[in-house]
Amino acid sequence: MPLTGNIPNEMILASAGSGKTWQLTNRYIALLGLQLKSNIPVTPERIVAVTFTRKAAGEFFDSILVKLAEAAADPKKAASLAADSNDPFAPVLQSLDSDDYRKLLRIFITRMPRLFLGTLDSLFSNILRAFPAEFGLTADFEVMDDYQSALAQAQVYRSVFERQAGESKDPSKAQKDFLESFRRATFGKEESRIVRYLDTFVEDLHDLYLSASSGEKWGNPKAVWKDGSGGWIASGIDVKEEFEKLFASFEANPDPKQINWKYWEEFRDAMAEHQPGSPIKGRVEYMLKAFLANWKDILAGHAEIKFNRKVHSFNPDECTSIRRLVQYIVGSELVVKLQRTHGIWELLHLYESTYANEIRRQGQLTFQDLQLLLAGMDKEQSANAAILSQIPGDDDRLRIDYRLDARYDHWLLDEFQDTNITQWKVIANLIDEVVQDTSGRRSLFQVGDVKQAIYAWRGGDTRLFREIENRYNINEERISLRNLDVSWRSGFDVIDPVNRVFGNREKLEKLGLPEQTIDQWEWNDHAVAPTNQDDAGITCLLNPIPPDGEKLEKEDSFALVVGILEEIQPVERGISCAILVQTNRNGTELVDYIRAHSSIPVVSESDVLIASDNPLSRAIVSYFRCAAHPGDTFSWEHLHMSPFRKIIKRDNLTAGSLSSQTLKLLFDSDFESVTRSFIEQISSAFGQPLDEFTEERAEEFALAARLFDEKGSRDIDDFLAYIERHTTREPVASSAVQVMTIHKSKGLTFDAVILPDLKGNSLTTARSEIGAKEDKDRSIEWVLDLPIRPIVEADPILSEHLASKEAEAAYEALCKFYVALTRARYANYLITDPVPKTSRSQNFVKLLELVLAEDFEEEVTTFHETEAILRYQSDTPRTDRNWFKGFERKAAPEEEPPLALPQFEADRFRPRRRTPSSSEEYTVPAAQIFHPSGSNAREFGTLVHSMFEELEWYSANSMETLAWNWRDQTITNSEQIETALAEVANCFEETEVQRLMSRPDGNSELWREKSFEILIGNEWLSGTFDRVVIEKSHDGIPEKARIIDFKTDRISESKEIESACEKYRGQLETYREVLKKMLLLPDESIELTLIFTHPAKVAKL
C-alpha cells in the first residue's frame, strides 16, 4: 500500500551537497504518483513549487522532467528514485513502475503551461494579475526592470524639482524648503552633488522607507530613548566656562605634575573650533574616547583615567565639568544625526509621494511593490498617506486568499533561509490553511539550509525556520523536522576540514564571536556518502612567499594560484575548477593576472559594465552625451583626447555641429547604426587595427544598442541610462577555469576550488548603513543615522542595536565562508596571508589558523616552481597531494585545416524580417488604439487561442475537459475564463467547426501553436501557426494540409466577416508560402481556413 495515513508536512534542513534538489523533485513526483495510485485525477497544477532564482526554478523543472523520462525508459532508474528509506514517500515511489512514469510524464508535459515552478516574485506577480482591481491596479500593470526603474527614478527627480517650484506661489520659497530638507539630510558632508545623494538615499533607503513610512520613526529622539535624550542631549552648556572650572581645579591640585597640561590645552583649543556635525577628530576624538570608556565612573563622581601612561584622578567637581563637556560633544553630534535622519525621511517622503502618483499608480511596479501590496503593508497607521495603491480590507483579503487556497493543495518551498518576513506574510494565510487542513490530503514541504543564508543583506531571515516550526507544533506535531547532513558532493578531504572549522564551538568562542552568533549557528557534523568515500583529495592552507626582502602583495597570492593551476592542469585533464573571490573587482584583477602569466584558459563569471570597462566604450558614451548636451565640456574634452579628435579637426566640428549631425543620423537610422558609424570613424582615425578585446567590446556595445532600438525610443538620455547599466558576462566554458564570487558559486559543484581571497575585516563588521531597530515582530521601532562608534558603545540603546547587528554580520560571514568551503568535490586550496601572532583579529583567516594550523608543523612546499608555506594539509586515509593524476589527460585534438571563408564582393546580406501578421491590411481608428478595452481584447483573444490549442481532436466530451482544466487555475480572471469557455462552446455547436477540429481519416499529423523561422527570398519570416492538419500517404509523405487560424474579432454580420477575410488574406497567404516550403506541397494542396469565434462562423479563403 503506498503511503497510508495523512500526507506529511516536512521541514528539511539540508546541508551543502546533501541532495536538497533531489528531495524536492522526488517530493513533487511522489505527490503525482500518490494521486495516480489512488485513482484520483493527477493535478500537477495544484502544486506550487517556489525557489529563489529563475535559474534554480529552471533546474528544478529540468530535474523533474529528466527523472520522469529516465524512470519511464529504465526500470532501474525508476527503482533508484525510491532508494531513500528515510523519505516518508518511499512507499509511493516503490509502487511506481515505468508504465506509471510514462503516464506521469505525459501528464506533466501536457500541463506544462499551467504549472507553477518559479520564483516567489513571479508567484506574487501572478496573484496580482489575477486580482488587479482589488489592489487598485489595472490588469496590464508592468513589473519594471533595472533600466526602466532608472528612467522612472529620473522622471521623479525632474517632477520633484519642477513641482516644488510650480505648485507654490513663491517658487523660490518652495525650492528653499526642498533644499533645506536636503541640507539637513547631508549635513556635515563635504560634497553637495544633489543627484548623487538622492541616488544614494533612494537606492539604499527607499525599501526601508516603504517598510517604515512614518516620519515619527525617523530621527525622533523619543522613539529611540524613553526620555527623549538618552542623558546626552542637554542645553545651556557653556564650553568656555566648563574649561575654566576644570583648569582652576587642576591648578589647585596638590600634585600639578599629574596634569598633562599640553593635552588639556590642545583639547580646549580644539573644542573652541569644533562645529557640531563636523568630523570628530584629533585631540577631541582622543579625549572623548577616554571619557566614554570611563563614563560610569564619571557619572558616579570619581574617575581615574590614563592619558599618555599617566593616570589622572578626577574629583566630583571635575567629573561634573567633564560630563557637561561630553554631553556637549555627544549631544551636539546626536542632534545633527537626528536632524539628518529626519531630513532623509523628508526627501524620501517627497520622492515617494511623487513616485506613487506618477509611476506606481500608472501600473509600473517593482518587485518590492508586489511584496508590500500583497503583504498589506502599503500604509502604516501613523503614516500620512498610502505608500502604494489601495489594498483590500481584511475581509476582502481573506476572500482573495480563499480563492487562491481553493486552487493549491501542496506547497514546496525551496531555499527558505533566503525568504524575508514580507514575503512570508504574503503566503502565511495560505500555508496556514494547508498545514492545519484536517483532510490529510494537503501538504507543506519546506527546504533550506540556515548555514547557507548569504542573502541577509536582501532581507533573508533565518529565524523564520524555527518560528514556523514552533508556530505549527505548539500543541501537536504538524510539521516534522528532518536533517540532511550526508554529503553526496564531497569526499573526506573536503568534509573533515569543514567539520573542524565550522563545528568547533570552543574555537568560535576563542575567536571572540558574539554569543548570539554562536548560539544561532546550528551544527551537525557532516558525513560522506558511500559513493564518495574512496575519492582521493586534499585540503591545503597555504601562505604565499614574497620575493626576498619584500612585503607580501596581492600578486604573490595570484602567483600561487597560477602555480596550483599549472600543477593540476585542470583544463587538460578535464577537471572542473573554480577560483572563488569575495568581490567582482578582485575577480577581474585575478583573471587579468592569470591571462598574463599562464596559457590556461580562464573566464570571469562577474557581470561587466560594457560602457565603462574600456577606452572605446567610454569614448562612445562621451560622443552620445555630447550629442544630447552640447554644453557638456567634460564629454567634449574627452573626445578631444581620443582618436576622434582627428575627425573633429578634419570636419571642423564644434560641439553644436556634432550634436546636430548626430541627432539627424538618429532620426534617419537608429542607435546601432550610429554606434557602428562612430566605431568605424574612430578605428580609422586610430590608424591601426583594434585589439581583440576592444573589437569584442565594440560589437557588444553595438548589439546592446540594437536591443535598445527594439524599445522604440530615440531619446539619447534614455539610451545613456540604458547602456550605462548594460552588463555582459563571458560565456561559460567547460574547457576553462571559472572565476566567480562566493555568492555566485552557491548551488554549484567543482572538482577543485581555489580560495585566494579569504582575508578581510572582522567577521563582526556590520554594514555601514543607517540604523533601523526592529521589534520582535520585525516592525521598525526607530531609524537613526548612527554617530561614531565610541558614542554608540557608550549608549545602552545604541550599543544593544550595534551588538545585534554585529552578531548578524558574524553569522552571515560564517555562512559565506561555509558556502565557499563546500563547493569542492575533491580538493580545496586555501590561500591566505599569515596572521601576526599578536593580532587580535576576528577575521576568517584567524579562525582557520586557530582550528587548522595551530597543531600543524608548517613546511615549505612548491606548486610548479612557486613556493608556499604549507600551514595545514588534510589527513585522511584518502589524502593525496596528487589526487588530480587520477584524471586522464585529454588527447590533443588533431589540427584541422583552416576553413576557407567565403569572399563577398558586396556588403553582407541582411534579410528583412517580417511576420505574417504584418501582411494584414486594415485601418484602425485612433480612438480604438488608445481605448482601455484594447488590452482586454488582446488578453481575451489569447485566452480563446489557448483553449483551442489545448484541444488535440474534437470529441463529445471536449468542452467538459476544457472546463475542468481552465476553471482550476488562478492566473486569469474567472469571469473572463467563463466568457471564453462560452465562446469556444458556441463554436463547437457548429457542425463545420466540429469537422475541422476532428481527426481526419487515414494517416495525419497535427501542429498546434507551432512556431517557425524561415528564410524565403530576401525576407526572414517568423510567426506561429494556430493549427495545421497534415494528411499523409501510407508511407508518411505529406499530400495536403489545412491551415486553421482562430480570430476573435467582435463581428457578426456577413459584410463584416467578408471584410475581415480580406483583412487577414495577406497573413494566411504568407502562412501558405511558409508551409509550402516546409512540406514541399503545391499551393492548391494547402487549404486556408478562418474560424471567427465570436459569431462561430467558418470562412475558407
Residues 1006/953, Cβ–Cβ less than 8 Å: yes
> Between the CA of residue 85 and those of 81, 89, 715, 800, what are the distances in Å?
10, 9, 62, 47
How many CB atoms sit inside 10 A of residue 890's CB? 12
Closest CA to 773 of 114, 4, 371, 218: 218
Phi, psi values for residue 135, rounded to 5°: -110, 15
The CA distance from 880 to 864, in Å, is: 17
State the pLDDT at residue 909: 44
The string of pLDDT tens digits covering residues 928-945 is 333 434 445 666 787 888
Q: What is the pLDDT of residue 28?
A: 95
Residue 937's Cβ-count burial label (10 Å; 0-12, 13-18, 19+) is middle
Burial of 351 (0-12, 13-18, 19+ CB in 10 A): buried
For cell 529565524, what's the residue? 463
pTM of the model: 0.76
Q: What's the pLDDT at 911?
A: 53
Q: What are phi and psi of 589, to 5 degrees?
A: -60, -40
Instruction: Tell me, letter by letter, the H, E, C secondary structure of 426-475.
Output: HHHHHHHHHHCCCCCCCEEEEEECHHHCCCHHHCCCCHHHHHHHHHHCCC
* CA distance readout (Å), 344 to 97, 207, 359, 602, 688: 64, 13, 21, 45, 52
Instruction: Kindly give the interhelix angle for 367-375 and 194-211, rounded to the nearest 10 degrees.
Output: 30
Q: Which residues of the chain have pLDDT under 50?
A: 1, 165, 171, 188-192, 379-389, 893, 895-910, 921-935, 970-971
Report the pLDDT value the prediction gives residue 274, as an integer from 0 to 100: 87
Q: Cβ distance 620 to 654 under 8 Å?
A: no
Q: What would the 3-class secondary structure string for 261-322 be?
A: HHHHHHHHHHHHHCCCCCCCCHHHHHHHHHHHHCHHHHHHCCEEEEECCEEEEECHHHHHHH
CA pair distance 820, 140, nearest whole angstrom: 42
Q: How far out from the chain centre does Cα 244 lie?
A: 59
Q: What is the DSSP string of 758-786?
A: ---S-TT---S--EEEE-TTS-EEEEE--
The DSSP 8-state label assigned to residue 643 in this structure reads T
Q: Residue 538: left if φ>0, alpha if ψ -120 to 50, beta else—which one? A: beta
What is the end-to-end Cα distance of the chain in Å, rounded?
Answer: 59
Q: How many CB atoms lie within 10 A of CB 882?
A: 10
Q: What is the DSSP string of 480-527?
A: EEEEE-EESS--HHHHHHHHHHHS-HHHHHHHT--HHHHHH------E
Q: Answer whether 808's CB lies under 8 Å from 822's CB.
A: no
Residue 206 near residue 200, CB atoms below 8 Å: no
Mutual angle of helices 554-568 and 584-597, in 10-degree steps: 60
Cell of 569: 592542469
Nearest to 1030, CA basis, from 1000, 1009, 1010: 1000
Alpha-carbon dihedral of residues 177, 182, 184, 188, nearest 10 degrees? -140
pLDDT digits (tens, 9 = 90+) for 343-362: 889 888 888 888 888 888 88
Q: What is the pLDDT of residue 303?
A: 92
- Enter the C-alpha cell of residue 776: 520582535
Question: 826, 535 in Cβ contact below 8 A?
Answer: yes
CB 860 within 8 A of CB 870: yes
Closest CA to 793 of 766, 822, 828: 766
pLDDT tens per residue across span 635-681: 898 898 889 999 999 999 898 899 999 999 988 889 999 999 999 99
Q: 487-518 as b/e, with b when 16 or more CB fall inside 10 Å?
A: bebbbbbbbbbbebbbebeebbeebebbeebb
Residue 118 contacts residue 54 (beta carbons within 8 Å): yes
